[in-house]
Amino acid sequence: MIKDIRIVSRRFNLPQSHTLEVARQHGAYRSIETLTERTPEGIIAAVEASGLRGKGGGGAPTGAKWRLMEGEFDGRPKYVVVNADESEPGTFKDGHILSKDPHLLIEGILLTCYALGAHDAYIYIRGEYYERQQILQHAIDEAYEAGILGQSIMGHDYRVDLTVHRGAGAYICGEKSALLESMEGKRGHPRLKPHQKEPEWYFGNPTLINNVETIATVPFIVTEGADAYRQYGTERSPGTLLFALSGHVNRPGVYEAPFGTSLMEYIEHYGGGIRNGGTLKAVIPGGASTPVLTADEAAQARLDYESMQGLGSALGTGGMIVMDESVDMVEALKNLMAFYHHESCGQCTPCREGTGWVDAILARILAREGNRDDLKKLLDISETMNGKTVCVFAPAASSVIDAMVQKFETEFLRYLDTGGAA
Amino acid sequence: MSTQSVTITVDGTPIEVNPDRMLLPELLDKGFSIPHFCYQESLGSDGNCRMCMVEIAGKKRPQISCDTPIVAGMEVRTRGESIEKVRRDILELELINHPVDCPICDQAGECSLQDYYMEYGLYQGKVDKKEKHHFDKHIDLGANVLHDQERCVLCQRCVRFCRDVTHTDELCVAGRGDHSYITTIPGETLHNAYAMNVTDLCPVGALTSKDFRFQQRVWFLATSPSVCHGCAKGCAIDIDHAKSKYHDDTIYRFRPRKNPEINGEFICDAGRLSYKETQTYLLRTCLAKEEILADAEALDRMKAILTEDEYPIVVLADANLYTEELAALQAFARTFHAQLYAPLEAYHDPAFGDDWLKSSQRAANAEGVKRLGIATEMPTLNDNTLVINVNHPDGHRTANRIDLLTHRPDENTERVPARLTLPIAPWVRSSGHLINEDGIEQYCEQVLRRNDPTPTLLERLAHFLDKGDDTILDNMETAL
Amino acid sequence: MSFTWTSAHRAELDALKERYPSPKALVLPALWKVQEQEGFLSLEGIEAVAELTGYSKAEVYGVATFYTMFHLQPQGTYTLQVCKTLSCALNGQGTILDHLKERLGIEVGETTPDGQFTLTQVECLGSCGTAPVMQVNDTLHEHLTPESVDTLLDTLSDKGGSL
């Protein structure tokens, strides 16, 4: 039986939870009040010991990423950037933090800046989140007014300025280096990967980028300790995640749960089961860039990185798209590939041309003008898109194609064999 | 090499390489064939085309060699079934939205896409024609550059040239995904003096020269190394020309030839288009005042004037002449006790010059003139002096003169007819040395076969010089 | 035609400049302000952004055409952005879109003759839990049904184009 654990979402259900008053009544900024009791190194060590993993989809260890910011870098300023470009289909958890508990995020940002020696932080928010941006900006204004942000944060001799930077409609800007390109005023083209471990760079200055929820988890770890976080989740995926449900469930939404929770129990407990008493057909477990799970696979799945990897998929953002028996998987793949086609930045040849070609072939299959060679063609193109581009956008598309075509081949064949008739 | 070279293994063979460079440029220099679009020697790599993949032992996936640092002992494979399949597959994606219109494309024959297809592709097309995207074609970008968006592989060499080399930033990639395209700002055009270099940089037929397109198939062209005569910079060029049956050997274009000391890989548009001057408005006949003369008759009259008239003689030499020609004029002047001048003021053109490859000194061999000790001021002239004018722009001021000219006198300029006028062949018909304004000496090969009987300057002068006059060569060697 | 920043926008941008390591960072914020002023991005507006940031006009143009929320052409008073991605598709976005097309008498990408409504389809709006959704200009509308769409359009029409 699932027990509710609320680390990031603990204030979500309070009325007016986005206001400073309510947030402070319920514990916001305590870690900043007592900042003098902590050292930057102590904060980094706690984050490292907590095993916190990036909650934007990649799941990379946060502590190790923070460690890359250590050093003098010739005295260049350090920056903290929060990735609020949440655009992964099926994913809407960060939007909940922005609109329901923006002060938790601000608190996390203050701790992160203090730990890393940064004084300027930015929140890159997707352009479509306009209303959520208004709430967030209001919270920032309140925090400035209350002296929580600004020249001396809560009276401490430490400056933090926080600026919201609005995107303008580009999924790829959720990729950290594309995001920084965008924040430098350029097209959102991901950068070539560095040849050694190093931080990100914003106008040539060392920069940390973390997802909204990752940063929002930091206050808990700092105040309650690494072990308190580790008591939830699994050994390798410690803590919790704001998982999300959409598609054919009775109660779609965002619900925090520990890593390792059974996927089916989660759907039952939080989602209220499949809509209209239907039968589960498939689940896309962690946003549109994770390979689909069949109902059988979903029955074995646990919501952690290792379990999902074991099933040939990925935990991704934890945004689950649940599909019942009524779903046509060819249409579903077409829908996803239209997304990839639309969102490819166009920089690398395999991605730019591959996503469009796959989309066109699927359109032809749906129009019942396809032939059996098309399935092989889809898998061939997918192979060319995998592992040959600057970023992981094309490899993600590739894994999505492979899983759909292989696991639901009969559905594709039905379009190909009827030769015109349904 | 600034640092010690290291040994790596490429396709089983150990080679010495410079560890300060990325793998691709180093391997290209060593003669390995690795397809690439976005990497270009002068522009560097961008990492977008993904064509230059190689296998590196110990790496799970193929790597783009343009962004792979060299590590001592690394094992690289540029050949083999698996890496060639990767290349073939990526190349196929380059081609899915390409119109494959090689028969009507001007780039055919010097197109990387075509070459790579022949080397690695050779597959049956898998693309349904209906699935191809269509883009705009024959867009006039200005500056003689035409753009065919369908043929573009988005390597961005042109964008990077205008951004990083000329700093004029006329071009950008607009749109996104497979609807990205290269464009200028709507309503604006390329406006830099070097814009046509993008037609050389473009590895495919997306950017072509309006001046050259449809004029000649490139496989009919012969290429001769030469030097641009447009100004004192002396940019190295290749001259592409062709002789077809019943037609003269004709120059179709100048292209930059790599010379790191002078022009890198580029030339200015004015220089590029100056090939036209070598084959238009050429003077073909001898004239006495305005009456046509046979060549032999003209030579006889010239000899008579030189030996019988008692006027002092001044020779005005064009500062574009080859050093050898100038030296021969010195000998000529000695023989006839004449004063030789190559007045440079006429070539000064501040409106032309810039801080890169365009010099305000428009004479290609001004430095050669100086080194030979030829006077560069304009002497005071009147009709009591006999002037021998060899192509000098200001050589036509007095009536008592003999002209040796390449071009027909411009009918629009006021000009006293010369007593005698003899044609001489344009510079592309002879060979010789030029010294550029930085003192760099280069050799120009004779490019064109003889199309008409017009003699070169040296052939003309041979009638007047003692064949045994070794001082010509001696004097030249001293100068150089 | 020319473009001039409103004094409020100019002041905001000047203040914002202090927040970043380079004025180049202002491209997106400034383009947003141009679009707010003009309803779309004119070439003159793009030029003003280039001047402000130190990028070339062509670079800013490339940026403006990369992001889907920037418009290089004037739009209707209300741009209806119907989410088409999977969770909305599973929850009836097709019905909503068909209903909008029929009611407005236009296809996707078109604007009603009175200039009130521009109909577009967009990728995931990040509100999958309340599908199907659409955004009207900057306002999100959730749990759409043909009836709720009708009510919404009636309200918007009554406003007579004033926001």
Alpha helices in B243-340 (DSSP H): 269-273, 295-308, 323-335
| Cβ atoms within 10 Å, residue A269 | 18
Give pTM, 2 decimals: 0.94
**pLDDT reading at C51 higher than 70:** yes
- From CA B211, how far away is CA B38, in angstroms rounded? 25
- Give the CATH number of domain A20-229: 3.40.50.11540
Contacts of C93 in chain A (CB under 8 A): none
Chain centroid to CA C47: how far?
20
CATH topology of domain A240-324: Ubiquitin-like (UB roll) (3.10.20)
The rounded mean pLDDT for chain A is 96
**pLDDT reading at B126 higher than 90:** no
Question: For position A421, what pLDDT does the model report?
Answer: 41
- From CA A261, how far away is CA A240, in angstroms rounded? 10
Contact between B174 and C62 using a beta-carbon 8 Å cutoff: yes
> What is the arithmetic mean of pLDDT over A153-182?
98
Identify the H or E element spanning A33. Answer: helix A30-33
- A123: its two tokens: 């929140």
- From CA A300, how far away is CA C46, in angstroms rounded? 54
Minimum-distance CB partner of B171 among C43, C46, C58: C58
Residue A260's alpha-carbon distances to A91, A298, A361, A366, in angstroms, are: 19, 13, 38, 38
Structural domains in chain C, CATH included, are: 7-66 (1.10.10.1590), 78-160 (3.40.30.10)
Q: Which of B127, B65, B139, B71 is nearest to B94 (CA)?
A: B127
Question: For position C37, what pLDDT does the model report?
Answer: 97
**What end-to-end distance do the CA atoms of chain B give, in Å?**
30
Class level of CATH domain B218-278: mainly beta
| Cβ atoms within 10 Å, residue B141 | 21
Taking the Cβ of residue B176 and every Cβ of chain C, the question of whether any pair is shorter than 8 Å is answered with: yes
| CATH 3.10.20.600 boundaries in chain A | 240-324
- A246: its two tokens: 């959409």
- Lowest model confidence (mean pLDDT) among A138-152, A217-231, B462-476, C137-151: B462-476
What pLDDT, in 10s, does the model give residues B16-66? Answer: 999 999 999 999 999 999 999 999 999 999 999 999 999 999 999 999 999
Nearest chain C CA: its distance from A203 CA (Å) = 7
**pLDDT reading at B1 higher than 50:** no
Sequence-ordered strand ranges (E) for A274-350: 280-284, 293-294, 319-324
**pLDDT reading at A322 higher than 70:** yes
- C117: its two tokens: 């409504």
Contacts of B60 in chain A (CB under 8 A): 387
> What is the arithmetic mean of pLDDT over A349-355?
97
What is the percent of chain B where pLDDT is above 90?
81
- From CA C75, how far away is CA C79, in angstroms rounded? 7
**pLDDT reading at B473 higher than 80:** no
Interface probe for A, chosen from C123, C130, C137, C140 (most Cβ of A below 10 Å), is C123
**pLDDT reading at A324 higher than 50:** yes
CATH topology of domain B6-94: Ubiquitin-like (UB roll) (3.10.20)
Rg of chain C over all Cα atoms, to the nearest angstrom:
18
Confidence of residue A420 (pLDDT cuts 50, 70, 90): very low
CATH 3.40.50.2000 at A329-418, yes or no: no
Contacts of C31 in chain A (CB under 8 A): 168
Confidence of residue B332 (pLDDT cuts 50, 70, 90): very high
What pLDDT, in 10s, does the model give residues A93-146? Answer: 999 999 999 999 999 999 999 999 999 999 999 999 999 999 999 999 999 999
Taking the Cβ of residue B179 and every Cβ of chain A, the question of whether any pair is shorter than 8 Å is answered with: yes
- From CA B144, how far away is CA B207, in angstroms rounded? 10
Burial class (CB in 10 A: 0-12, 13-18, 19+), B290: exposed
Question: For position B413, what pLDDT does the model report?
Answer: 76
DSSP secondary-structure letter at B443? E
What is the percent of chain A where pLDDT is above 90?
97
Nearest chain A CA: its distance from C20 CA (Å) = 8
Contacts of B125 in chain A (CB under 8 A): none
> What is the arithmetic mean of pLDDT over A339-368?
96
Residues 14-73 of C with CB under 8 A from A: 16, 19-22, 24-29, 31-32, 53, 55, 59-60, 62-63, 66-70
Burial class (CB in 10 A: 0-12, 13-18, 19+), C160: exposed
Count Cβ–Cβ pairs < 8 Å, chain A vs chain B: 88
Taking the Cβ of residue A267 and every Cβ of chain C, the question of whether any pair is shorter than 8 Å is answered with: no
Query: Residue B207 pairs with which residues in a beta bridge?
Result: B147
Neighbours of chain B (3+ CB pairs under 8 A): A, C
Class level of CATH domain B131-209: alpha beta
What pLDDT, in 10s, does the model give residues B142-183? Answer: 999 999 999 999 999 999 999 999 999 999 999 999 999 999
Sequence-ordered strand ranges (E) for A203-355: 205-211, 240-247, 253-258, 280-284, 293-294, 319-324
> What is the arithmetic mean of pLDDT over A264-287?
97
| CATH 1.20.1440.230 boundaries in chain A | 329-418
Contact between C65 and B176 using a beta-carbon 8 Å cutoff: yes
Confidence of residue A417 (pLDDT cuts 50, 70, 90): confident
Domain ranges, ordered by start, for chain B: 6-94, 131-209, 218-278, 286-479
- From CA C115, how far away is CA A353, in angstroms rounded? 36
Question: For position B477, what pLDDT does the model report?
Answer: 62
What pLDDT, in 10s, does the model give residues B294-307? Answer: 999 999 999 999 99
CATH topology of domain B286-479: Rossmann fold (3.40.50)
Nearest chain B CA: its distance from C148 CA (Å) = 34
Contacts of C128 in chain A (CB under 8 A): 89-92, 244, 246-247, 252, 319, 321
**pLDDT reading at C15 higher than 60:** yes
**Residue A273 CB partners (closer than 8 Å, separation 6+):** A249, A250, A267
Confidence of residue C107 (pLDDT cuts 50, 70, 90): very high
- From CA A39, how far away is CA A115, in angstroms rounded? 7
Dihedral of alpha carbons B167, B171, B174, B178, sign: negative
**pLDDT reading at A272 higher than 90:** yes
B36-55 CB burial, b ≥16 within 10 A, e <16: bbbbbebbebbbbbbbbbbb
- Lowest model confidence (mean pLDDT) among A348-357, B435-444, B465-474: B465-474
Question: For position B470, what pLDDT does the model report?
Answer: 63
Do residues B375 and B340 lie in contact, with contact meaning Cβ atoms separated by under 8 Å?
Answer: yes
> What is the arithmetic mean of pLDDT over A405-415?
96
DSSP secondary-structure letter at B117? I
